[in-house]
Structure formats: structure tokens, C-alpha cells
Structure 1
């Protein structure tokens, strides 16, 4: 949870609640072969900080982070 100023709250060691763990977002490199659940097999043709552009042969799609349906082959 973030406060109004945008910074995360400090987790206290005595807190009865578990600290929220941020999931690790996979990184894709240029020319990585990938598989998407909807679009099929493709190749990464452009990478950005929070998105990748993938060429699936018949179409090109920009997929934003987090990459739930995209996996590296």
C-alpha cells in the first residue's frame, strides 16, 4: 500500500500482518522467442521499460507489463 505522497509504508517487525511481496516482473530481451496465450508464437522486436513489442508473423502487438500471458521460450 502506498501513502498519498507515493512512497511505500514501512513494515513494522511487530506487525501481525505479513509484508506484501511485490511479484517479480520478467524481463525480455531483443529477439527473444516468446509465446502468448492469445496470439501464439512470436519474437520480441522492441523493448521498453514497461512494455515489449512482439512480431507474431501476421500481426505486431505492444504488450504492457506485467506480462501475464507472455512467456519466454
Structure 2
């Protein structure tokens, strides 16, 4: 006879009992901010679209539109 998963007791120190962590807040950028991108390198924010939904960044003459949540972009 097998027990169902609902009746099984879990240890309080188990890493599987941890509640899901809240997502970190999305970085807010402004025109003129200096940034670093994992792939494109250093740049400067030229424009912010919508409510920080995307940013237009100049990477030494090459422009890129980076979408939120900016996982590869960091403010300097």
C-alpha cells in the first residue's frame, strides 16, 4: 500500500518547502543613464519607451532597443 503525497510529512528544513520568492523590482532607467550590457558593452540611454517597457541605448555608435525586464542590462 502506498501513501499519497498529501499525507506525507515534510521536514521544516527541507529546501522544497520554501515559498516562492517575490520577483525583484524592475530597474528604472532615465535618459542619460550610463549602462553596461552583457553582449553589447558600455552605452548610454537615449530614450525610455512607455512606463520603462523598453529603452533605446547607444553602444558607441550602434543603437539597441532593450526590452524589460533588462536581464542583461545594468546601470553604472
| TM-score with structure 2 setting the length | 0.68
Partner of 1:56: 59
Which consecutive unaligned segments of at least 5 residues does structure 1 have? 1-15
Alignment of 1:16-55 (within 5 A): 18=19, 21-48=22-49, 49=51, 50-55=53-58
Aligned-residue RMSD, C-alpha: 1.6
Q: If each structure's helix is expressed as a fraction of its own residues, which one has the higher value?
A: 2
Which consecutive unaligned segments of at least 5 residues does structure 2 have? 1-16
Q: For 2:74 and 2:20, how far apart are their aligned partners in 1?
A: 27
| TM-score with structure 1 setting the length | 0.70
Detail structure 1 runs of 4+ shifted over 4 Å in the superposition.
none
